[in-house]
Amino acid sequence: MEILYYNEPKSSENGVTNVAYYLSRAIAKKANLTYFPQFGSKKGALNLLNVYREYILRKFDIVHFNIVPTWINGSQMMLKSANRRKIPTVLNVHGLIQLERIMEPMLGSLSSFALLNFLTACNLVDKIVVNTEFSRTKVTAWYGIDDDKIAVIPNGVDFREFNECERKLALEGDPAILNIGFISKVKGFDILVEAIAKLRSELPDMKLHIVGQGPRCYSDLAKKKGIEKLVVFHGKAPHSMVPSYLKSADICVVASRLETFSIIVLEAMASGTPLIASNIGSLRETVSNGEDCILFKTGNADSLAEAILTLYRDLDLRREISQNALKTAAKYDWENIAEKYVSLYEDLYK
């Protein structure tokens, strides 16, 4: 089976390119994959000519888009050509930016034109892939897309990369608590800082390690709470360093108020790092409270502080959660997720 796969995974430094990169590597072991490259926007006309010459004139069995096709790089032209030639097409919808804008408008960039482009692509493709049932309900409700057109395939994790990582970092703190991701209200950074402030007397030796970047107003929050000595900001780190951070931490916290899917949840579990996460529907599709994770009441600093204290004081519980988490994460290895995509391709190609 010949698959045209958009986009070329030159890096894996954020959520979408991370998924595209690892998914493509796994699918390439099971099907013939040709990458649709990310052409630069400065040579728009030349891009379209290249797309026409190199891709539209070729025959593919499936065309798979990991982000919404646009005219700038010719991917929408490729989509419309595939539609005319009745080549099955797949589009991944990785996130729902409207959800983030509810909490933090500065993160949203969904213009009317972008929304129109998105709806055009959704109407043209044969199958839309979302990563949770939560996302499926939102896509059908907001955009009026037929439920039968949507497939739910979760994101995955390179289990061996995280499980077998041996490089550890010298993270200070007893416990060393880790949070990875963009620093924002959506990701619950304010709740995490408030929880740490509540625990300062009971866990005076703890350190909260923040890996990621965000607006300065959030980096100032720790100072306002008087816990700047308990918080270490590492800044943005390459994804290749994430396994080392996770392997070096005692506890990983995902405090998000909203998520369609959390890659770091799978990565923490694959690392065997005891995980605490928000009790939101999309995350409950992946983890089980008290088995492979501790869930706390979303947006509640008292609940998060209690979860951290409980997990820190109970070594047996940490070990049990860690072992169960490894079993859960193994099910989400990219090899297993790729099988679901190949099955989808085969159903569309019949």
Instruction: Give tens-digit pLDDT for 132-183.
Output: 999 999 889 888 899 999 999 999 999 999 999 999 999 999 999 999 988 8
Work out the percent of the chain whose per-residue pLDDT is above 90. 63
- Looking at residue 103, its pLDDT comes to 47
- Looking at residue 350, its pLDDT comes to 79
Residues facing residue 218 across a β-bridge: none
Mean pLDDT value of segment 216-222: 80
Q: What is the pTM of this model?
A: 0.91
As its CATH architecture, domain 2-156+333-349 has 3-Layer(aba) Sandwich (3.40)
- Looking at residue 313, its pLDDT comes to 96
On the question of a common fold for 2-156+333-349 and 159-331, the answer reads yes
Task: Please report which confidence band the pLDDT of residue 10 belongs to, taking 50, 70 and 90 as the band edges.
Answer: low
Write 213-219 long-range contacts (CB < 8 A, 24+): 213/182, 213/183, 214/182, 214/183, 214/184, 214/189, 215/106, 215/183, 215/184, 218/183, 218/184, 218/185, 218/189, 218/190, 219/183
- Looking at residue 200, its pLDDT comes to 95
Map tokens 């988490």 to a residue: 325
pLDDT digits (tens, 9 = 90+) for 244-267: 999 999 999 999 998 889 999 999
- Looking at residue 282, its pLDDT comes to 92
DSSP characters for 232-301? EEEE---GGGHHHHHHH-SEEEE--S--S--HHHHHHHHHT--EEEE--HHHHTT--BTTTBEEE-TT-H
Q: What is the mean pLDDT of the chain?
A: 88
The answer for 185, left when phi > 0, alpha when psi is -120 to 50, beta otherwise, is alpha
- Looking at residue 107, its pLDDT comes to 47
- Looking at residue 14, its pLDDT comes to 66
Residue 108: pLDDT over 70:
no
- Looking at residue 45, its pLDDT comes to 59
Mean pLDDT value of segment 22-27: 92
Lowest mean pLDDT among 23-27, 47-51, 98-102, 238-242: 98-102
- Looking at residue 77, its pLDDT comes to 83
Lowest mean pLDDT among 34-48, 108-122, 328-342: 34-48
Lowest mean pLDDT among 37-46, 127-136, 194-203, 301-310: 37-46
- Looking at residue 117, its pLDDT comes to 80
User: Could you tell me the two tokens for 98?
Assistant: 């409207």
Residue 269: pLDDT over 90:
yes
- Looking at residue 52, its pLDDT comes to 72
Map tokens 């005891």 to a residue: 274
- Looking at residue 182, its pLDDT comes to 85
For residue 82, which amino acid is it? A
Q: Where are the domains of the chain?
A: 2-156+333-349, 159-331
What is the domain class of 159-331 according to CATH?
Answer: alpha beta
Position with higher pLDDT, 272 vs 120? 272
d(C-alpha 74, C-alpha 57), whole Å: 13
Task: Please report which confidence band the pLDDT of residue 19 belongs to, taking 50, 70 and 90 as the band edges.
Answer: confident
- Looking at residue 316, its pLDDT comes to 97
d(C-alpha 15, C-alpha 5), whole Å: 17
Residue 348: pLDDT over 60:
yes
- Looking at residue 341, its pLDDT comes to 97
User: Could you tell me the two tokens for 41?
Assistant: 């926007």
- Looking at residue 295, its pLDDT comes to 98
- Looking at residue 184, its pLDDT comes to 85
Asked if the peptide bond before residue 37 counts as cis, ω within 30 degrees of 0, the response is no
- Looking at residue 99, its pLDDT comes to 53
d(C-alpha 340, C-alpha 71), whole Å: 29
Residue 324: pLDDT over 90:
yes
Residue 311: pLDDT over 60:
yes
